[in-house]
Amino acid sequence: MMTPILNNLSRRTVLGGLGASLAVLATPVLALTDAQARSLVNGLVNDVNRVIASGKSEGAMIRDFKGIFGRYGNVPFIAQSALGPKSRELSNSERSAYVDAFADYMSRKYGKRFREFIGGRIEVQGARPAGRFFEVDTVAFLRGENPFALTFVVAERGGERRFVNMYIEGVNVLASERVEIGALLDRNGGQVSGLINDLKRLG
């Protein structure tokens, strides 16, 4: 049974696991340029296109997807942003366990839909500043479907450039994931240990 996000966005959320994060960063993005933001997303898109064309099994695609997520996304920031204020209450060990479970969950959840992109491709269109971020526009082309817009939000923190969120035809993926994670947390009575266990088996 598909989750509410997949019900709402259907197959067009396949790459949402690569980018599920946007919140106000603590420091402004001063050093980042449009060329750097575009270069990051070009690398991400090239890796994704290679996975799409690889002919690998679903399990292998999911493993590759997790690697792409970790290489190009600010995973700790994305995961903690999805959890919201509760993340500030976590111990170091809880935070580490949660971030790892979140990364696995996102990889399974969206990576399973990678096979629907076989025969398609993603193209980078351009980059533009958006406050303290850069937004990099791409277009996904799937066989037998109209192209659709994917926008990656890129930021630089601590000298590292990573994407922190993604919009799919204007839909904020992080906002959707916050709803999902919040519902799981509520179902577990606010206990992060229960949330982690759910994330390990969902997706």
Q: pLDDT of 92-135, one tens digit each?
A: 999 999 999 999 998 888 777 766 777 888 999 999 999 889 99
Map out the domains of the chain with their CATH numbers: 4-24+55-201 (3.10.450.710)
How does the average pLDDT of the chain come out, rounded?
A: 84
Other C-beta atoms lying within 10 Å of the C-beta of residue 171: 15
Q: Residue range 27-45: average pLDDT? A: 82
Mind listing the pLDDT tens digit for each residue in 56-103?
888 898 999 999 999 999 999 999 999 999 999 999 999 999 999 999
CB-based contact 110:65 (threshold 8 Å): yes
How many secondary structure helices (H) and strands (E) does the chain include?
7, 5
Judging by DSSP bridges, how do beta strands 133-141 and 121-130 pair with one another?
antiparallel
DSSP state of 54: S
What is the C-alpha separation between 155 and 198, in angstroms, rounded?
30
Residue 20 token pair:
């599920």
- Write out the DSSP string of 127-193: EEEETTEEEEEEEEE-TTS--EEEEEEEEEETTEEEEEEEEETTEEHHHHHHHHHHHHHHHTTT-HH
Instruction: Report pTM.
Output: 0.81
Using the predicted structure, report yes or no on whether residue 15 has a pLDDT greater than 70: no
Work out the angle at residue 63's Cα, subtended by the Cα atoms of residues 54 and 61, and round it to the nearest 5 degrees: 30
What is the C-alpha separation between 13 and 169, in angstroms, rounded?
10
